[in-house]
Structure 1
């Protein structure tokens, strides 16, 4: 009988393969903290990202300096669209735990969320690159379902701009991590204005690459790994721009929070399915009745004859279509008086038709020279899989976050002389378990 690492409790199988984590682990004592915040881009080249890592400027992105006014120095890249957080220990975290605001901007849309247990990092990919502005990013540490560790200790996230250093917090669990930074594309020298000096730096450095002496990553404003006329052109397009004045919306208003998700079984031909939005959302400054609720999306919408929100009672009503059955995911967005938002996912099984998911590994393992092995797999199901976790036992112990397309990745350090069986399982939102997938990992 194998044991699985699942939920808030850790039941770790005895490893039969020599396993090394990719990051230092801290003991599960007290509350989790943030130990690094980085910005990145889906457009940055692998060579550029590797240069930042080799230069101790980040690990997957660019680590924003802390402890001084450097925290608010301009980030000069034109294509920042990733926010990366590293934690002191394994956390339970949801996409809805993040809010990002700017000066005059109450909400910045997110395209994708991922969590990697081995590196202890959560990554939000934005829907578009960040333009010039001052930003405030917050991780929920005191909401309805905050970032928390396996023992349900809430995030200890308190942070003072341009003063605090890692780790975050004040020694007491239950505090938001609120971090401010500035984006000013083209401001190579980070003096707060894009001018001829920035343009000259790009023209003077034209032809330099990450392998060249004198290469400056701040001048490589597109993150391509080489300084070129393209960088000079991008800087020229932003000439005379300077920092925006004011404070981000989130500095004076806390974003609403939610319970994240709820799985519900409903009988076919039921008169009505009712969901208490006032109980599933909360906001520090805005009363439940003053929050604006919107049905953002509904999958398999044909199984519903009507969908509505009663603004007087705060109840979401879903009326099944006649004799309809199936799975449906309803996303509801809550917007507070300042325009900040969060969302809640309702996963519904109408008629008891849910089937267990299926998990498998890809046919090939990605093996690198440093003995790091990336296992890629796929979870398929008749319902929503985004946000599920694949749990491993046997040769591998841990968990991997499942993306919306069902793909998951898990990286280990595997020595050539070691080999054994690895097992994987996933449980869907309704508690139905998948097959137990097994795969030989290592040399034959």
Structure 2
């Protein structure tokens, strides 16, 4: 919106825009530009607050360690043994999902995430790994040109181009539409950050024991577990990694893009609903492989009892959800697409099954003669209500006689009655649950002699 106020005239005849107009123009220019990556921090869910606070105080990162950029320092090994979080901050508010980032390595082709969050106030997305990084050369690949790339509120897609070892923030080449591909290395125990764990690392950490964050002589690279103090545990972390070095070669993602995803819309059905069939081909894409050649799987299900089966038909690209009888609740399914190079993307499918009241059912209804009386008995079942307190009412040839009996807590009912003056015929039995849903009508033929 270019909403310009009437310009004010200066005494010397020149015109100028009002302050409000200039601000609105600047805002429009901002949203017309593509979002970029403004920072990358690596961290751990195991790091203590004292360690994290020290990093921020020392200008080494916010809620994590800011990997240096603009030089070869970007590729210096990170020595911590519990790195399991990646934080990416953007230049503006964006729409970013867990599946927009892939992480590949040499020792491990691809890494999976257990959690994801995004803070629209700080423009920061956080991915948490299933397991911490071990020694590896790593590549972050943030989607800027896939099926559903990172984009801002007006649809500008990520401008992510990056050259390792020379680029500085912000990312990009000035044109929207480019992945952010960012290299870094992890080698637990490499306190000297030289690419190999050896005696010099062990000795440096041993000599630093007792140093706490903020003390003279304290180094974050000696604090291998990130608890804010160098202890024997840190030395053990180095000692048991002696001889380790970075692997040869490059991360798998250097020559192959991971699949991308648009995700799935939330599935909302009622209890006992018919099967739901979703298209996998519509939800995923890949730069190198056709969607028909991707390998699909469901790698996690938070509530298996909600389903009688979850089927993946890779040939036809279909995911079929068959719901368990009388089951309701919610579940999150992690659906994965893997390409021929072993890279994959995960997306969460949320499923909500709303409860539906099930009517009670009467079975085993019998009318028998016993010691001059007639005994009416049977069973009541109800999958979602307590049976005690329900009342069975009898009709047919007993209509108008107000014959009824309560149901026991175990679902049985029994009553004796006099059928004198009642003709032979059918006796009916029916009950109603607390929600007003009537049961089936059970019938029994009575021959009155």
Does the CA contact (< 8 Å) of 2:106 and 2:251 recur in 1? yes
User: C-alpha deviations, 1:279-319, integer Å up to 9, x for none?
Assistant: 11101111111111112334554454433222221112223
> What do you get for the CA RMSD once the two structures are aligned?
2.2
Does the CA contact (< 8 Å) of 1:262 and 1:345 recur in 2? no
Q: What TM-score results when the alignment is normalised by the length of structure 2?
A: 0.68
Matches within 5 A, 1:79-98: 79-98=82-101
Matches within 5 A, 1:377-392: none
Matches within 5 A, 1:6-25: none
Matches within 5 A, 1:35-434: 35-266=38-269, 271-321=274-324, 327-350=330-353
Higher relative CO (Cα under 8 Å, sequence separation at least 6) belongs to 1
Q: Quick one: structure 1 residues 312 and 63, their matched pair in 2 at CA, closer, same or farther if it must change by over 3 Å?
A: same
Does the CA contact (< 8 Å) of 1:35 and 1:166 recur in 2? yes
Moved more, 330-339 or 178-187: 330-339
User: C-alpha deviations, 1:112-141, integer Å up to 9, x for none?
Assistant: 212122222111121222111111111111
User: C-alpha deviations, 1:37-77, integer Å up to 9, x for none?
Assistant: 11111222211111111111111111111111111111111
1:349, distance to aligned residue in structure 2 (A): 4.6
Q: Find runs of 4+ consecutive structure 1 residues off by over 6 angstroms.
A: none
Does the CA contact (< 8 Å) of 1:280 and 1:344 recur in 2? no
Does the CA contact (< 8 Å) of 2:107 and 2:247 recur in 1? no
1:352, distance to aligned residue in structure 2 (A): 8.5
Larger Rg: 2
Q: Match of 2:33?
A: 30
Does the CA contact (< 8 Å) of 1:202 and 1:232 recur in 2? yes
Query: Distance in 2 between the 1:231 and 1:267 partners?
Result: 54
Query: Distance in 2 between the 1:300 and 1:133 partners?
Result: 34
Query: Distance in 1 between the 2:306 and 2:193 partners?
Result: 55
User: C-alpha deviations, 1:8-52, integer Å up to 9, x for none?
Assistant: xxxxxxxxxxxxxxxxxx943411111111111122221111111
Q: Quick one: structure 1 residues 78 and 267, their matched pair in 2 at CA, closer, same or farther if it must change by over 3 Å?
A: closer
Count of residue correspondences: 328
Moved more, 279-288 or 289-298: 289-298
Query: Distance in 1 between the 2:223 and 2:304 partners?
Result: 46
SS at match of 1:52: helix
Q: Quick one: structure 1 residues 47 and 288, their matched pair in 2 at CA, closer, same or farther if it must change by over 3 Å?
A: same
Q: Quick one: structure 1 residues 256 and 208, their matched pair in 2 at CA, closer, same or farther if it must change by over 3 Å?
A: same
SS at match of 1:261: coil
Q: Quick one: structure 1 residues 135 and 326, their matched pair in 2 at CA, closer, same or farther if it must change by over 3 Å?
A: same
1:265, distance to aligned residue in structure 2 (A): 4.2
Does the CA contact (< 8 Å) of 1:270 and 1:320 recur in 2? yes
SS at match of 1:28: helix
Q: Quick one: structure 1 residues 213 and 171, their matched pair in 2 at CA, closer, same or farther if it must change by over 3 Å?
A: same
Does the CA contact (< 8 Å) of 1:104 and 1:249 recur in 2? no
1:346, distance to aligned residue in structure 2 (A): 3.1
Q: Quick one: structure 1 residues 234 and 323, their matched pair in 2 at CA, closer, same or farther if it must change by over 3 Å?
A: closer
Q: Quick one: structure 1 residues 350 and 50, their matched pair in 2 at CA, closer, same or farther if it must change by over 3 Å?
A: closer
Q: What TM-score results when the alignment is normalised by the length of structure 1?
A: 0.69
Does the CA contact (< 8 Å) of 2:98 and 2:347 recur in 1? no
Query: Distance in 2 between the 1:212 and 1:122 partners?
Result: 32
Does the CA contact (< 8 Å) of 1:141 and 1:177 recur in 2? yes
1:211, distance to aligned residue in structure 2 (A): 2.6
User: C-alpha deviations, 1:127-185, integer Å up to 9, x for none?
Assistant: 22211111111111112222111112111111111111110111111211111111111
Query: Distance in 2 between the 1:150 and 1:102 partners?
Result: 32
